[in-house]
Amino acid sequence: MNTVAAIFKKEFASYFISPIAYVFIIVFLVGTNFMYFQPFFLINQADMRNYFGLLPWVFLFFVPAITMRGWAEEKKSKTMELLLTWPVSDTEVVLGKFLASLAFLATAVALSATIPITLFIIGNPDPGPIVGGYAGALLMGAAYLAIGLWVSSHTENQIVAFILAWVAMFALMIIGHPVVTLKIPSALVPLFSNLGLFTHFESIGRGVIDSRDVMYYLSMTGIFLFLNTQSLGRRKSE
């Protein structure tokens, strides 16, 4: 566990060494705040449903930007050869990298706390859905991050990692969306909408935490982290 902590620390710090991280956080905060507050006084409701409704789409761009470096950089600069000959198991390395990316995402999301603080100052919102929404956002973010890191382990080009992660996430989101579910045989609809990343966030966005949604996000995260350890292992049979 100590090695996971060492890798976590190093990875988390490395996000903040380059200015790109700050740029992304600022774009994320400005973008979400702008989109949320623009119709805010028209709607005139002190809740965050609209904000959480935006998040899956914002994450679609924000998360691949976080994860694209993950493995692609290690592969390109060949540091992977050293990293994987140190006495660390593949699981520990994957876990360290994943937790660091989750901590980075959580930092960005936590900085959006200006929104609930504003709401509490000017109105009287129900805290339950807001807390639930944030918890759900992290769960969904974890699944996105696991997918992004897994994609990053297949290429040494960061741009390719970004685009492929975007495509993978978009595909997983869209299969549960009415755009797809209205056009497929009705027998397949439950399967597709249950697999969709998006579907499961709808109730969370409303502040309802259903154990099925939690299980869905946790298992998506687990599956892709496992796939990630396997794709590291693939070098072994090259």
Partner 1 sequence: MNEKTGRLMLEVRGLNKRFGQVHAVNNLNFEVRRGEVFGFLGPNGAGKSTTMRIITCFIPPTSGSVLVDGMDTAEQDLAVRRRIGYLPESTPLYSDMTVREYLAFVGQVRSLRGEKLKARMDEMFSVCALTAMADRQIGKLSKGYRQRVGLAQAMIHDPDLLILDEPMSGLDPNQIIEIRNLIKKFGEEKTVIYCSHILSEVSATCDRILIIKDGRIVATGTPDDLTSGHKGGSRYTLRIKGDKEPIKSTFSSMGGVSGIDIESAQEGWFNARINTEIKDDIGELIFNRVVQNGWALSELRRDQTSLEEVFTELTGGRQ
Size (the chain), residues:
238
- Helix 19-37, helix 114-122: angle, nearest 10: 30
Asked if 99 is part of the footprint of partner 1 (rule: CB under 8 A), the reply reads: no
Q: How far apart (Å, rounded) are the C-alpha atoms in residues 112 and 30?
A: 9
For partner 1, what does the binding mask look like between residues 190 and 209, x meaning CB under 8 A?
Answer: --------------------
Nearest to 203 by CA among 187, 217, 220: 217
Q: Which residues contact 20 (CB under 8 A, 6 or more apart)?
A: 65
3, 33, 118, 157: residue in contact with partner 1 (rule CB under 8 A): 3
Q: Which is nearer to partner 1, 183 or 236 (CB)?
A: 236
Stretch that binds partner 1, among 8-16, 34-42, 46-54, 116-124 (CB under 8 A): 8-16
Beta carbons within 10 angstroms of residue 185's beta carbon: 6
Q: How many helices (H) and strands (E) does the chain have?
A: 14, 0
Q: Which residues contact 125 (CB under 8 A, 6 or more apart)?
A: 46, 47, 48, 116, 119
Contact set for partner 1, span 25-44 (CB under 8 A)? none
CB of 81 to partner 1, least distance (A): 5
**For partner 1, which residue of 17, 42, 179, 187 counts as binding (CB under 8 A)?**
17
Taking the C-alpha atoms of residue 145 and residue 165, their distance in angstroms, rounded to an integer, is 9
- Please work out the total of residues on this chain that contact partner 1, with binding judged by CB under 8 A: 27
* In the complex, least distance from residue 70 CB atom to partner 1, rounded to whole angstroms: 14
Residues 66-95, mask of contacts with partner 1 (x by CB under 8 A): -----------xxxxxx-xxxxxx------
Q: Is 10 in the site for partner 1 (CB under 8 A)?
A: yes
Piece of the chain touching partner 1 by CB under 8 A; list 14-22, 100-108, 132-140, 207-215: 14-22
Q: Which is nearer to partner 1, 9 or 210 (CB)?
A: 9
Tokens standing for 38?
């623009």
Interhelix angle 19-37/90-111, rounded to 10 degrees, is 50
Nearer to partner 1, 85 or 211 (CB): 85
Interface residues with partner 1 (CB under 8 A) are: 2-3, 5-7, 9-10, 13-14, 17-18, 77-82, 84-89, 235-238
